[in-house]
Structure 1
Amino acid sequence: MTWTDEQTGATGHLVIDRLLRGAASGGLRMRPDCTVEEVADLARAMTLKESLVYRPEDHYAPFGGAKGGIDFDPADPQAPAVLERFLRAVRPMLETYWSVGEDLGTRQSDIDRAFENIGLRSCVHAALPFVADGADAGLDRISRAFSVEVDGLGLGDTVGGYGAAQSVLAVLAQHHESPFEQTAVVQGFGSMGGATARYLTRAGIRVIAIADREGVLANPAGLDVERLLAGRSTSGIMDRGTLGAGDTLLPSEEWLSVESDVLVTAAASYAVHDGNHEQVRSRYVVEAANVSVLPDAEAALAARGVIVVPDFAANFAANSWWWWTLFGDIGPEADQAFAKIEKAMHDVTGEIFDNVRATGVTPRVAGAEISRQKLALALSHQQEAASGR
């Protein structure tokens, strides 16, 4: 579906890749030049992401993948109103099919406010009929989880980056490498990039460069991530007025060329492409952002021996945390969230690299095949449940 805002001329897109159990899940982003092709790419990745983490013992079973995108500047004062008008226009889909959360350029608080204004109870309205112990119980767990704070950050702003950091640690473990000997560069310092940098540092990895929209801050001895988080703006910009000893500023275009063991892409889609992949100076690229490495660039990196961990395998934590909490697989407490995320990330990463070693394919191909197998398993279990067996 494509929508045009009569007041601003902004265009919005909704793509449902597929329905499972009659429903689909995926975030809503807002950025200039967002296209329907981009939204379709993201929706396909959501289908893979949903199925990849399926465990028969969980209450949660996968939905299909969907995504929304609005071609508009999220910094524009009119952005919240544009967001609300888009959601009002696609309300029939929200009532029946599409559960939505924040994504690049949108904030969960704005989405929640818009849902209240258009008269829907929750941004996951379409999923509520599937909660076994009732919508009230599920929404109570979600509400309490979003009230949890972890070292100055909300749990909802933490789980995604914690999961991306666990992806890095799981990949290193699969290659028998110690985190204490590794360096990392993080592109992006919003909720995903900031939390990723925090938990990489806490695991012993030196974060030697972070990129935001204004440039790159680098320090070969390791950046003081907690200081940077304390001074971070609401739009994910680091405070250049409080540089530490050894910190240096680099131009924006040098974010790829800083030599490191791990590069985490945690900002815009299509960040690594034909025009810049040769600048990559890392052995591992972990996609904390959706669709951040284009296929031709990924093939060229693989030919150089660079391991690319695909988005649907590296950044599923925030999406899965929502569902695990809503459906009661975990409570609202941070320790339960972190434990479930860590186990799921290491299990999934192990499955992928077992397949890589057995077949010689890339992690993306291996992960997509595992996702398809789990989807078939989930559908089989749903059919058995429906028939009463």
Structure 2
Amino acid sequence: MPETMMTTAEEMNSYQIALRQLENVAGILKLDAGTHAILQHPKRELTVHFPVKMDNGETQVFTGYRVQHNTSRGPAKGGLRFHPETDIDEVRALAMWMTWKCAIVNIPFGGAKGGVVCDPSKLSLGELEHLTRRYTSEISLLIGPDSDIPAPDVGTNGQVMAWLMDTYSMHAGHTVPAVVTGKPVSIGGSEGRIDATGLGVVMVTQQAARAQGRKLEGARVVVQGFGNVGGAAARIFHSRGAKVVAVSDYLGGVYNPDGLPIPELVAYSKANGSVAGFPGSEPVTNSEILELPCDILVPAALQNQITSSNAGKIRARMVVEGANGPTTPDADDILRERGITLIPDVLANAGGVTVSYFEWVQDIQSFFWSESQVNHRLGRVMTRAYEEVSAAAQTHNVDLRTAAYVVGVARVAEAAKMRGIYP
């Protein structure tokens, strides 16, 4: 057992939390020690330090990572995040969570993740392009359409993916659209990809509400984070009749107990760079927003937002994790004791990787689907995944997070056993 497992739960970093979650499920599944050890450790880790010439003529050295956790079920798949607090343990955790996430929705990928320690908001467009292209060249020995397929994450977007695809293609000598997903539609991206994660969040929320005999229409929703995930989720919740009463971004949040006009708020955010100050609303902080009275709370920002210090103050009936790892293990226990349903990240936000898989398939075949076809297929995948996780929860008498891990880890363990150990 790694020494990290001795750390108390609330002091754990993301990777230690991921290891603890795996350990909990290993006991339920009765994994043998060898298989457990294989799943604890990433398959490959790459750390790179690379120079970028800045606009002022100076050279700055950046640190980047690419981690492949497990490839037993297929090529590695996972996003790239550009964030000043990214470190190797965070990337290891995110790669492990991607392994389980792909297995939970039963798509033929393993888990990977990448990151660069930087603040993209402080880089010019040219500096961001140079950083992306140099980082791509540094990790090009790992990535490829048959080996490891990156995607957008925190601090990256479709433009960054386009630069990555172009850089890889220049090295290959021909266009390789399938090396990355989350691209603009004009260069092989999929219809429906931008909203996919947020739409998946709403789909599983609707399933869970229906299972509890409640409707989405009229439900009070709070969303922390107003980026690709939170913004799309808020907009789709609103379009389906829910009352979105509060949202926030990195500069602050807004609250109106009677509901926010989300289309107008989206336009305001685009024009002003933030939701903060939206007319007809009360200001709230990113910590305060988590404690507002609501039916559904969607933490869609960063990790470790719900902890033992605030879990007792959560006033939602249901927490749906749009972000990766927003709830600590200690907070999990508190929410469970208080009877608050939690739909875990590895299920709730798996819509993004599912449509990334659809994009990869379309690129490989050079045959593309309409947005309605993509959304229909996504609905089938998310519905089936929720039903399988819900069934596992009942079978093992566990919460939905543990049940999701039971489903995902069991599939990866089975694949690893079937393949055996080379040589």
Provide TM-score, normalisation by structure 1: 0.83
**Distance in structure 1 (CA, Å) of the matches to 2:284 and 2:184:** 45
Deviations 1:337-386 (A, max 9, x none): 11122222222112212222332212111111112344467679999xxx
The alpha-carbon distance between structure 1 residues 271 and 82, as it changes in their structure 2 partners (threshold 3 A), is: farther
Structure 1 segment 281-360 matched on structure 2, within 5 A: 281-328=315-362, 331-360=368-397
Instruction: Tell me which residue corresponds to 1:267.
Output: 301
Instruction: Tell me which residue corresponds to 1:106.
Output: 156
* Most deviating of 374-383 and 262-271: 374-383
**Distance in structure 1 (CA, Å) of the matches to 2:416 and 2:361:** 18
**Distance in structure 2 (CA, Å) of the matches to 1:71 and 1:290:** 18
1:191 partnered with 2:228: yes
Q: State the AA in 2 paired with 1:64.
A: G
Structure 1 segment 10-21 matched on structure 2, within 5 A: 10-20=62-72
Q: State the AA in 1 paired with 2:108.
A: P
Instruction: Tell me which residue corresponds to 2:147.
Output: 97
Q: State the AA in 1 paired with 2:99.
A: T
1:2 partnered with 2:47: yes
* Most deviating of 23-32 and 115-124: 115-124
State whether residues 174 and 350 of structure 1, in contact with CA within 8 Å, keep that contact through their aligned partners in structure 2: no
1:226 partnered with 2:263: yes
**Distance in structure 1 (CA, Å) of the matches to 2:369 and 2:184:** 9
State whether residues 263 and 285 of structure 1, in contact with CA within 8 Å, keep that contact through their aligned partners in structure 2: yes
**Distance in structure 1 (CA, Å) of the matches to 2:273 and 2:155:** 11
1:213 partnered with 2:262: no
**Distance in structure 2 (CA, Å) of the matches to 1:110 and 1:371:** 30
Instruction: Tell me which residue corresponds to 1:63.
Output: 109
Q: State the AA in 2 paired with 1:89.
A: E
Q: CA deviation at 1:201?
A: 1.3
The alpha-carbon distance between structure 1 residues 84 and 337, as it changes in their structure 2 partners (threshold 3 A), is: same
**Distance in structure 1 (CA, Å) of the matches to 2:177 and 2:212:** 39
Instruction: Tell me which residue corresponds to 1:38.
Output: 90
Instruction: Tell me which residue corresponds to 1:75.
Output: 121
State whether residues 286 and 310 of structure 1, in contact with CA within 8 Å, keep that contact through their aligned partners in structure 2: yes
Deviations 1:303-322 (A, max 9, x none): 22222211110111121112
Q: CA deviation at 1:235?
A: 9.8
State whether residues 260 and 283 of structure 1, in contact with CA within 8 Å, keep that contact through their aligned partners in structure 2: yes
**Distance in structure 2 (CA, Å) of the matches to 1:126 and 1:186:** 28
1:369 partnered with 2:406: yes
State whether residues 72 and 79 of structure 1, in contact with CA within 8 Å, keep that contact through their aligned partners in structure 2: no
The alpha-carbon distance between structure 1 residues 306 and 80, as it changes in their structure 2 partners (threshold 3 A), is: farther
Instruction: Tell me which residue corresponds to 1:170.
Output: 207
Deviations 1:136-178 (A, max 9, x none): xxx99994654x5xxxxxx322122111111211111121111
The alpha-carbon distance between structure 1 residues 164 and 74, as it changes in their structure 2 partners (threshold 3 A), is: same
The alpha-carbon distance between structure 1 residues 236 and 305, as it changes in their structure 2 partners (threshold 3 A), is: farther
Q: CA deviation at 1:227?
A: 0.8
Q: State the AA in 1 paired with 2:112.
A: A
State whether residues 260 and 281 of structure 1, in contact with CA within 8 Å, keep that contact through their aligned partners in structure 2: yes
Q: State the AA in 2 paired with 1:346.
A: T
State whether residues 145 and 332 of structure 1, in contact with CA within 8 Å, keep that contact through their aligned partners in structure 2: no
Structure 1 segment 104-183 matched on structure 2, within 5 A: 104-118=154-168, 119=170, 121-122=175-176, 124-125=178-179, 143=187, 146=190, 148=191, 155-183=192-220
Instruction: Tell me which residue corresponds to 1:88.
Output: 137
Q: CA deviation at 1:8?
A: 2.5
State whether residues 188 and 236 of structure 1, in contact with CA within 8 Å, keep that contact through their aligned partners in structure 2: no
State whether residues 41 and 291 of structure 1, in contact with CA within 8 Å, keep that contact through their aligned partners in structure 2: no
SS of the residue 1:255 aligns to:
helix
Q: May I ask how many residue pairs the two structures share in their alignment?
A: 356
Match among 71, 80, 104 for residue 28 of structure 1: 80
SS of the residue 2:323 aligns to:
coil
The alpha-carbon distance between structure 1 residues 354 and 222, as it changes in their structure 2 partners (threshold 3 A), is: same
State whether residues 219 and 248 of structure 1, in contact with CA within 8 Å, keep that contact through their aligned partners in structure 2: yes
**Distance in structure 2 (CA, Å) of the matches to 1:235 and 1:192:** 19
Q: CA deviation at 1:182?
A: 1.7
Q: State the AA in 1 paired with 2:228.
A: S
CA RMSD in angstroms comes to 2.8
Q: CA deviation at 1:10?
A: 2.7
Gaps in structure 2 of 5+ consecutive residues = 1-45, 52-58
1:49 partnered with 2:101: yes
Provide TM-score, normalisation by structure 2: 0.77
**Distance in structure 2 (CA, Å) of the matches to 1:280 and 1:306:** 9
**Distance in structure 1 (CA, Å) of the matches to 2:218 and 2:311:** 25
Identity %: 26
Instruction: Tell me which residue corresponds to 2:3.
Output: none
The alpha-carbon distance between structure 1 residues 142 and 377, as it changes in their structure 2 partners (threshold 3 A), is: farther
1:243 partnered with 2:279: yes
Q: CA deviation at 1:336?
A: 1.1
The alpha-carbon distance between structure 1 residues 219 and 13, as it changes in their structure 2 partners (threshold 3 A), is: same
